[in-house]
């Protein structure tokens, strides 16, 4: 049994997926972060985190591309604050952008900034909607 609730966020017509995990306490979140990184004491004051995963694009039994997960946004109920969610969504957006550049080549600065902005906007709103639907209250400063 897990010590977190996990949600999957997917964009229609795209293959990338991101997970959101909500831990009950900051202590359980910090322990998970240490286990994920393998570095003891590395997240002793963390109230939220983003962990990138190795993106791959597997093929299913029918020969079609399956969705792939490129990261996990880790939050805790204890510190369900807007600024933490915003911060972790930015990390996730940077990772998403690095994946695009790595897999498809670089683009002009304008296109790069627009793509970054649209993805970040979409991700933040989806995370907030997902948390609200699950019954979490996000504290806004």
pLDDT by residue for the chain (141 residues), tens only, comes to 678 999 999 988 887 889 999 999 999 999 888 888 777 776 778 899 998 887 655 555 565 556 677 899 999 999 999 999 999 999 999 988 887 766 655 555 566 788 889 999 999 999 999 999 999 999 998
pLDDT at position 67: 67
Reported as half-sphere exposure (CB side, CA atoms, 13 A), residue 99 has a value of 21
Query: In this predicted structure, what is the pLDDT of residue 110?
Result: 61
User: What pLDDT score does 37 carry?
Assistant: 79
Q: Cα–Cα distance between 21 and 64 in angstroms, integer? A: 28
Residues contacting 132, CB < 8 A, separation 6+? 138
CB atoms < 10 A from the CB of 50, how many? 20
In this prediction the pTM is: 0.85
């Amino acid at each position: 049994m897990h010590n977190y609730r996990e949600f999957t966020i997917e964009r229609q017509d795209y293959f990338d997926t991101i997970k959101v995990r909500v831990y009950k306490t900051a202590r359980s979140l910090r322990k998970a972060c240490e286990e994920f990184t393998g570095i003891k004491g590395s997240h002793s004051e963390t109230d939220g985190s983003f962990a990138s995963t190795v993106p791959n694009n597997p093929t299913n039994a029918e020969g079609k591309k399956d969705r792939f997960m490129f990261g996990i946004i880790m939050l805790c109920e204890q510190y369900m604050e807007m600024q933490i969610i915003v911060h972790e969504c930015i990390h996730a957006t940077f990772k998403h952008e690095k994946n695009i550049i790595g897999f498809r080549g670089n683009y002009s600065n304008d296109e790069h900034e627009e793509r970054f902005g649209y993805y970040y906007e979409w991700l933040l709103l989806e995370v907030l909607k997902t948390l609200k639907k699950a019954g979490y209250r996000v504290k806004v400063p």
